[in-house]
């Protein structure tokens, strides 16, 4: 981390730059933006997405990207649509990882969904540490997981999750935008381990400007890298391009006059920070950047503190990447088609999503909750008696000699169990009229 501080300090002190684009990560930005505030030089980042970074606290920090908090309502809406009542949040122990957690928990609380456990992993966690945490998660009842971590950790995490059988039926996984934007550039083995995962990403409308750029980008890439397969430019690449344009437009408007630093009087034994000058045009440049608005590759680009998004795409990881299954907007909730957003009603229904292939190549929606493998089954006492067999009837299977329980009461019970938002393992225990056995049973069907 010291490297990034030294680079930024060198740029400000020795080169007297009037703006810095970067740093790349939220953790790096956390150290550098204080220098920008001190020198009154805008620090513009298109990839530092942690909500913990705020222009309210550090006014010379400009986020040229969406805050991670912008996606939490979209994720919560998906959880609500499938009636999942418990979710485990899995994240890395960095500024990027922890910043979103309070917003996720608040969004889940608003839809009456509990977060019974938060799984935290170091970005340099060993494979054994990852496996230990996965085994711990397997012993819990919750089967819905929201994952928010960098690709370097997530790639190892999902490979191990597949190895231990957690990418099979009954499991539901949702990844945040930071990972979904990299699906097209991920290693094939990692994408294969994530089959059935759901994810959200900001919606970028296709435009003539974006089409033309993609053509030029493809031609340039293949010319310079004829033996390499080109990865699609993701949202961060588009934000980077638009950020450079925004700064160029603002700098052109401000002009190049009086672009110098004011320096404090030289005093012996001053530190590098205390000798850092102050930009004379910094305040004006910052104001101009925040007022700059134009239509860029990523859509309407306005840096009033940070970007805003009017919609998110909902994707299902199938094959080599993410397949679009719907959209989410703040006004209309979940939509199958974005151009169908004429309704005035907010919909959290999963019926508005396209067909989903869940982990384990299943087409059935995971219930989100199961009795752990070491859990006990619910025992249901069924009386063996003459008469009223249309309500409860106990017979023996001629092949296995196991009891076969049928009847109207059994049908009603099975229908009620099927409506629960989780699995409930159970078994029917036939018994005679002896009252001594009744006390050992969990439930009676009379």
Highest mean pLDDT: which range of 23-27, 121-125, 343-347, 383-387? 121-125
Q: How far apart are CA 304 and CA 185, in angstroms?
A: 31
CB 198 within 8 A of CB 394: no
| Rg of the chain in Å (alpha carbons) | 28
pTM of the model: 0.79
Mean pLDDT (the chain) is 85
* Peptide bond between residue 23 and the one before it cis (omega within 30 degrees of 0): yes
Report pLDDT digits (tens) over 351-399: 889 999 999 999 999 999 886 554 566 778 888 877 777 888 888 877 7
Give the model's confidence band at 444: pLDDT under 50 very low, under 70 low, under 90 confident, else very high.
very low
- Planar angle of CA 392, 397, 400, nearest 5 degrees: 140
Highest mean pLDDT: which range of 24-33, 132-141, 377-386? 132-141
Give the model's confidence band at 424: pLDDT under 50 very low, under 70 low, under 90 confident, else very high.
low
Rounded average pLDDT over 291-300 = 91
CB 65 within 8 A of CB 202: no
User: In the Cβ-directed half-sphere of 164, how many Cα atoms lie within 13 Å?
Assistant: 19
**Cα-based distances in Å from 233 to 214, 236, 239, 282:** 8, 8, 10, 32
Higher pLDDT, 16 or 132: 132
Q: What is the pLDDT of residue 118?
A: 97
DSSP structure class, residue 361? G
CB 327 within 8 A of CB 314: yes
Rounded average pLDDT over 187-197 = 96
| Fold classification of 69-203+310-361 (topology level) | Rossmann fold (3.40.50)
Q: What is the pLDDT of residue 300?
A: 87
Report pLDDT digits (tens) over 313-329: 999 999 989 999 999 99
Q: What is the pLDDT of residue 439?
A: 42
Q: How far apart are CA 308 and CA 305, in angstroms?
A: 10
Report pLDDT digits (tens) over 34-80: 888 888 999 999 988 999 888 778 889 999 999 999 999 999 999 99
Q: What is the pLDDT of residue 437?
A: 46
Q: What is the pLDDT of residue 274?
A: 64
Helices (DSSP H) in 260-351: which residue ranges?
A: 282-291
DSSP structure class, residue 377? P
Q: How far apart are CA 161 and CA 134, in angstroms?
A: 7
Rounded average pLDDT over 336-346 = 67
- Phi, psi for 110 (deg, rounded to 5): -65, -25
- Planar angle of CA 108, 114, 120, nearest 5 degrees: 85
DSSP structure class, residue 114? B
Query: What are the contacts of 37-40 at 24+ separation with CB within 8 A?
Result: 37/61, 38/273, 38/276, 38/278, 39/12, 39/261, 39/276, 39/277, 39/278, 39/279, 39/282, 40/278, 40/279, 40/282, 40/283, 40/286
Matching fold, domains 2-65+234-302 and 69-203+310-361: yes
Instruction: Give the rounded distance of the alpha carbon of 442 from its chain centre.
Output: 40
Give the model's confidence band at 420: pLDDT under 50 very low, under 70 low, under 90 confident, else very high.
low
Q: How far apart are CA 181 and CA 290, in angstroms?
A: 26
Give the model's confidence band at 441: pLDDT under 50 very low, under 70 low, under 90 confident, else very high.
very low
- Planar angle of CA 182, 299, 289, nearest 5 degrees: 100
Q: What is the pLDDT of residue 340?
A: 55
What is the token pair recorded at 104? Answer: 């996720």
Domain ranges of the chain: 2-65+234-302, 69-203+310-361, 378-444
Report pLDDT digits (tens) over 77-129: 999 999 999 999 999 999 999 999 999 999 999 999 999 999 999 999 999 99
Q: How far apart are CA 442 and CA 444, in angstroms?
A: 7
Rounded average pLDDT over 282-295 = 92
Q: What is the pLDDT of residue 228?
A: 77
CB 277 within 8 A of CB 262: yes
| Fold classification of 2-65+234-302 (topology level) | Rossmann fold (3.40.50)
Among candidate residues 149, 85, 154, 139, the one with its CA nearest the CA of residue 113? 85
């Amino acid at each position: 981390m010291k490297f990034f501080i030294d680079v930024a300090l060198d740029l400000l002190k020795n080169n007297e730059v009037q703006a810095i684009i970067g740093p790349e990560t939220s953790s790096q930005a956390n150290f550098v933006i204080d220098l920008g505030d001190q020198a009154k030089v805008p620090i513009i980042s298109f990839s530092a997405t942690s909500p913990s970074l705020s222009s309210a606290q550090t006014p010379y920090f400009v986020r040229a990207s969406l805050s991670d908090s912008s996606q939490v309502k979209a994720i919560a809406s998906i959880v609500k649509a499938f009636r999942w009542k418990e979710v485990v949040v899995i994240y890395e122990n960095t500024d990027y990882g922890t910043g979103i957690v309070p917003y996720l928990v608040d969004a889940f609380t608003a839809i009456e969904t509990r977060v019974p456990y938060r799984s935290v992993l170091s970005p340099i966690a060993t494979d054994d540490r990852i496996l230990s945490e996965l085994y711990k998660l397997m012993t819990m009842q919750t089967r819905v997981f929201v994952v928010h971590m960098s690709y370097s950790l997530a790639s190892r995490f999902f490979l191990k999750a597949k190895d231990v059988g957690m990418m099979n039926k009954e499991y539901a996984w949702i990844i945040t935008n930071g990972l979904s934007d990299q699906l097209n550039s991920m290693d094939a083995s990692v994408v294969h381990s994530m089959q059935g995962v759901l994810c959200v990403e900001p919606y970028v409308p296709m435009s003539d400007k974006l089409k033309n750029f993609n053509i030029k980008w493809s031609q340039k890439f293949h010319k310079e890298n004829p033996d390499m397969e080109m990865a699609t430019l993701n949202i961060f690449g588009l934000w980077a391009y638009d950020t450079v344009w925004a700064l160029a437009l603002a700098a052109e408007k401000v002009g190049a006059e009086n672009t110098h630093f004011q320096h404090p009087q030289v005093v012996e034994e001053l530190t590098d920070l205390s000798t850092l000058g102050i930009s004379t045009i910094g305040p004006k440049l910052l104001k101009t950047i925040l007022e700059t608005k134009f239509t860029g590759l990523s859509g309407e680009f306005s840096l009033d503190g940070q970007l805003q998004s009017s919609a998110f795409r909902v994707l299902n990881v199938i094959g080599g990447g993410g397949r679009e299954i719907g959209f989410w907007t703040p006004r209309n909730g979940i939509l199958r088609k974005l151009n169908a957003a004429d309704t005035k009603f907010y919909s959290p229904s999963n019926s508005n999503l396209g067909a989903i292939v869940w982990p384990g190549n299943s087409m059935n929606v995971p219930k989100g909750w199961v009795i752990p493998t070491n859990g006990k089954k619910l025992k249901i006492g069924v009386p063996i008696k003459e008469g009223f067999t249309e309500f409860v009837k106990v017979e023996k299977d001629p092949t296995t000699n196991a009891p076969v329980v049928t009847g109207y009461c059994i049908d009603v019970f099975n229908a009620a169990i099927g409506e629960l938002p989780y699995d409930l393992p159970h078994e029917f225990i036939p018994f005679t009229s002896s009252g001594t056995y009744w006390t050992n049973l969990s439930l009676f069907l009379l």
